[in-house]
Every structure is written in structure tokens, then in C-alpha cells.
A and B are shown apart, each in its own frame.
Chain A
Amino acid sequence: MNVIFDNIDTFLRGFGGTLTLLGLTTLFALPFGLLLAAMRVSPVASLRATSTVYVEVLRNTPLLLVFTFFSVIITYISGALPFQVAAVLALTVYTAPFFAEAIRSGINGVPVGQAEAARSIGMTFGQTLGLVILPQAVRSVVPPLINVIIALTKNTSVAGAFFIFELFNVGREVANANGNAVVAVFLGVAFFYLIITVPLGQLADHIERRVAVRR
């Protein structure tokens, strides 16, 4: 275990790197995902189609290849992006569809009568969605959104394979330098991931149970 305490500074900086990626990506991907979800249920066919194609393509593409595009391929097309920008961009583009699907399933979870009632008193699509459906969807949409954030936390590790300083990269470097303490390094890195993902998972379960009871 000494290997962790000897390198605790490196670990903490890597942890910081992971948290930065997580925060920035959530900040950009959540509004983007909301937009995609709204397009997906909108009355305009072309908006629906655009959103559907985007979501389906990105959800079925390996994250590693999305990263390859933004950090390698793009240098041959329009010039290199700074590593950090490329990483946040890749994660945002990849995560937004998952947010969109979580939000859409929340919209689908609102009882049909709500939308019918809103429409019957003459509300438009925007009003129905913004004033009636989404405020109610928020409750049931929070646990799946948290689950997407958990997945995102784990996905930030892929950035480490593309020269970003974060936990996975720290683990790789420290393990290479301390070949005799690989298990300890592994547990150390895993610990830092788990202190993000496990509490978030508990929170999601807790909220899910509360929402379920209230229904």
C-alpha cells in the first residue's frame, strides 16, 4: 500500500483530472441531450429524424473511435485540437445521446392523461412539454440521468489513453514505475473511481425508491 501513499499527490491530481473531465462534460452534454430529446418528441418530422439518426449513430459507435476522431483524425483534416478540448468534445458528443434517451424515457413515464389534459385546454406543444410534462418528468428522470453520469465517470478513463492526465493514466504510469506493486496500484485507482460511482449509485437508488413510493 506504500506505493499509494508515496504517490498520493499524483493520485490526487489524477483524481482532479477525472473530476474536471466529468464536470465539464456534464455541463455541455446535459443541455445538448435535452435539446436532442426535445427534438426527438417534437411535431417536426425533420427534427425528429435528425435527432434519431444522431442518437443511433453515436450510441452504436465505440467511444474509443470517437476519441480517435477528435484527437487523431481531426489533425489530418483541420489541424490539431488541444488534448483537453478534444477529450471534452469527444465525451460530450458521445454522452449527449445517452442523456437524451434518459430524458426521453422520463417523458414517456409521465401519464398520458397529463399531456391530453394540457392539450385539451389549448396548450401548444412547447407549453405542454415545458409547463406540464418536463416538470413532472424531472422526478423520474433523475435516477437514469445519474446512471448516465456514473457511466460517464467510467468513460473518462478512455481519455487517459489519449494523453490526458487523469486516474487511468496515473494508474498506468505508477504501475509501470512500480512493477512489484501492481495490485496495490490497481486497488488505489479503483478506490478513487468507486468514491465517485458508488455514492452516485446509492443516490440514484434512493431517489428511485422515493419516487416509486410516491407514485
Chain B
Amino acid sequence: MTSVLYDVPGPRARRRSRILSVVTGLVVAGVLAFAIVQLAQAGQLDAERWLIFNDPLIWQALLRGLWIVVQSAITAAVLAILLGVVFALLRQSELRVVRIPTTVVLEFFRGMPVLLMMLFIYLMFPIGAYWSVVAALTVYNGAIIGEALRSGMLALPKGQREAGLAIGLRPLQNRLLIEFPQAFRNMLPIIVAQLVVLIKDTALGTVVGQVGLVKEGELLAEYLGRSTYYFPLFVVMVTMYLLLNLAVSTLARFLARRRNQSGSATAAPTGGPGGGAAVAPLEGGAAVAGAST
């Protein structure tokens, strides 16, 4: 891989680079070795601690938790996208009575922690932990997706709106039939990146008592003995979340690349000195994701 930031390395640079590579390798290996020694000294790597995973009942409990995570994530994702569309349309309404309150509500939902929302929906409405989590994730991510869709609509060439209005579409028709489909397509990578955030935030459900993956792991650890079995269970939980999220992230990257290749009107790929024009839109997504995690 070459980059515009540096020349194709000559013999000296290659040697230096090799030395640095070895040093980095040693440092990384050192850190890993330190971690492994620490774990081994604490007995966390003893085989019998990991034998619990031979027991199908353990997997049953963990997969039950994972299934709740997937279920609440999918429900919240679908609802959040629908809510996002509504927010985006209201936020751009021609009527100030609609536009201004929507802006305030959006700022309110975007500006506070999703955990706070979960807790207070749980305390204020008698809908149980599961639906409190889903509702909080829906409202919070709906607000963020709404803003993404709105900026997607704003980024469209002005002619799109003008042409629609010129052939006699009503403003709302124009938004739904002409602008929204394009904005949604352009913003898809950002929306999918936001869904990764949503999946990660399902873990917070345990704080209000939703029995998701983390809660199942905690309960198992409590039952089997925390000091002995929490670490193995933790490793499995992290791996499950990682696999789920990496799958969705990969999808986001794939969508970003496909959008670049199809070369839609507004998607000017911003290749830069860091290399990799294909990932640039995803980085925009990362910034949005960063704004919301």
C-alpha cells in the first residue's frame, strides 16, 4: 500500500521501517505477554474455568440473552428509522409552528445520554424494562437519524426540489417522492453506522434491569461464582457483541463503497492524503456515530 504522505520506501527507509516493525511487534507482544502472565497468575486461564462452556445450558442462557439483544436492536432500529423520517420531514416543514418545536425536541433528545432516557422512561411509564430500553433507543437514535436524513436532503442539488415543484408536486409529495429516496440512499452508510451505536447501547439495558446478554452473563457469574467464572463469561460476551457489530460495520463499509462506485450526483468521494477514498463517507459516518455513542 502506498500513500501520498510518503514516498515509495528506498532501501534505507525499508530497513528503518523493518526495525520499527520489529520494535512494535515486540511492544505489542510484551503487552500481550504481560496480560497473559497476569491472567495466568490470577488463575483465570485455568482450564476448568473454561470448561463451563461445555455445558449447553450456559450457551442456552447466553444465546437467550443475545437473542434479546438482537430482538430489541431490530425493533428499535426499524422504529428509529421510521421516527427519523418523521423528524426529518417535520424539521423541514414550511410551517414555523411545526418546525421550531421539532427543532427543540430534536435538540433535547440528541443532547442527553440514552441511559438517562432509559431510566426515566422506565420510571415514568409502566411498560417494563424491555420496552423502556426499546423506546429510549428508538427516540434517541430516531433523533440522530432524523438529523442525518435532513442534512442528506439539504445536500441534494437544489434543482431536485425545483424540478419537482415545477411539475406540480406538492411540497410534501416532493420531499417523499424525490428528495427522501435520494437522501436515504446517500445517508445509508451513516444510518447503518448509527445502528452499530444502537446495538452497542443495548448493553445499557442491564442498568434498568432488562435481561439482555450482559444481564444473563452477570446472573450466570453470580450463580457460578463471580471470582472464578466472570472473566470467561465476560470474554464470551465481548466476543458476541464484537461479532455482531463487526458484521454490521462491514455492511456499512460495503454500502459506502458501493455508493462511491455508483457515483451518485452528490457523493463526491473525498480522497485525501491518508489514503483510501473508499472509506471517506464512512468516516463521516464515524463522526456522526461519534457524536452519538
B78 at the interface (CB under 8 A from A): no
Q: Which of B244-293 contact A (CB under 8 A)?
A: 245-246, 249, 270-276, 280, 283-284, 286-293
- Asked whether B241 lies within 8 Å of A61 as measured between CB atoms, the reply is yes
When chains A and B are docked, how far (Å) is the Cα of A76 from the Cα of B24?
Answer: 29
- Asked whether B231 lies within 8 Å of A76 as measured between CB atoms, the reply is yes
- Asked whether B7 lies within 8 Å of A50 as measured between CB atoms, the reply is no
- Asked whether B4 lies within 8 Å of A119 as measured between CB atoms, the reply is yes
Q: Count the B residues whose beta carbon is within 8 Å of the partner chain — how many?
A: 70
B28 at the interface (CB under 8 A from A): yes
Inter-chain contacts of B3 with A (CB < 8 A): 41, 43
Inter-chain contacts of A50 with B (CB < 8 A): 24, 28
What is the 8 Å Cβ interface bit string for chain A, positions 56-79, against chain B (1 contact, 0 not)? 110111111100110011001110
Q: Count the A residues whose beta carbon is within 8 Å of the partner chain — how many?
A: 72
**Which chain A residue lies CB-closest to B21?**
A46
B86 at the interface (CB under 8 A from A): no
If A98-B286, A125-B5, A151-B290 touch, whether A107 touches B237 (CB-CB below 8 Å) is no
When chains A and B are docked, how far (Å) is the Cα of A2 from the Cα of B9?
Answer: 69
When chains A and B are docked, how far (Å) is the Cα of A102 from the Cα of B283?
Answer: 7
When chains A and B are docked, how far (Å) is the Cα of A68 from the Cα of B5?
Answer: 39
- Asked whether B111 lies within 8 Å of A198 as measured between CB atoms, the reply is yes
Closest chain-A Cβ to B79's Cβ sits at a distance in Å of: 20
Inter-chain contacts of B204 with A (CB < 8 A): 62, 64, 158, 161
- Asked whether A125 lies within 8 Å of B124 as measured between CB atoms, the reply is no
A3 at the interface (CB under 8 A from B): no
Inter-chain contacts of A109 with B (CB < 8 A): 270, 272
Main secondary structure of the interface of B (DSSP, over half): helix
Inter-chain contacts of A62 with B (CB < 8 A): 200-204, 214, 241
Interface locus among B38-46, B88-96, B159-167: B38-46
- Asked whether A133 lies within 8 Å of B293 as measured between CB atoms, the reply is no
What is the 8 Å Cβ interface bit string for chain A, positions 24-55, against chain B (1 contact, 0 not)? 00000000000000001101111100100000
Closest chain-A Cβ to B123's Cβ sits at a distance in Å of: 5
If A109-B270, A161-B207 touch, whether A60 touches B24 (CB-CB below 8 Å) is no
Main secondary structure of the interface of A (DSSP, over half): helix
Q: Which of A168-195 contact B (CB under 8 A)?
A: 168, 171-172, 175, 182-183, 185-186, 189-190, 193-194
Task: Identify A108's interface contact among B119, B124, B272, CB under 8 A.
Answer: B272
- Asked whether A104 lies within 8 Å of B13 as measured between CB atoms, the reply is no
Task: Identify B283's interface contact among A61, A101, A198, CB under 8 A.
Answer: A101
What is the 8 Å Cβ interface bit string for chain A, positions 88-102, against chain B (1 contact, 0 not)? 000000000010011
B224 at the interface (CB under 8 A from A): no
**Which chain B residue lies CB-closest to A167?**
B116
Closest chain-A Cβ to B287's Cβ sits at a distance in Å of: 4
Give the one of A40, A59, A109, A182 with max B CB within 10 A.
A59
B211 at the interface (CB under 8 A from A): no
B76 at the interface (CB under 8 A from A): no
**Which chain A residue lies CB-closest to B241?**
A62
When chains A and B are docked, how far (Å) is the Cα of A107 from the Cα of B276?
Answer: 11
Inter-chain contacts of A56 with B (CB < 8 A): 246, 249
Inter-chain contacts of B292 with A (CB < 8 A): 151, 154
When chains A and B are docked, how far (Å) is the Cα of A18 from the Cα of B42?
Answer: 34
- Asked whether A43 lies within 8 Å of B6 as measured between CB atoms, the reply is yes
A84 at the interface (CB under 8 A from B): no
What is the 8 Å Cβ interface bit string for chain B, positions 211-251, against chain A (1 contact, 0 not)? 00010000000000011001100100110011001100100
Closest chain-B Cβ to A62's Cβ sits at a distance in Å of: 4
Closest 6 CB pairs of A and B: A108-B272, A62-B203, A157-B113, A105-B283, A147-B291, A60-B245
Q: What are 18 residue pairs bridging A and B, where the CB atoms are less than 8 Å apart in the complex?
A: A43-B6, A50-B24, A60-B242, A72-B230, A76-B44, A76-B227, A98-B290, A108-B274, A148-B290, A154-B114, A155-B113, A168-B119, A171-B116, A186-B116, A186-B123, A193-B112, A194-B111, A197-B110
Q: Which residues of B contact A (CB under 8 A)?
A: 1, 3-7, 9, 13, 17, 20-21, 24-25, 28, 38-39, 42, 44, 107-108, 110-116, 119-120, 123-124, 196, 200-204, 206-207, 214, 226-227, 230-231, 234, 237-238, 241-242, 245-246, 249, 270-276, 280, 283-284, 286-293
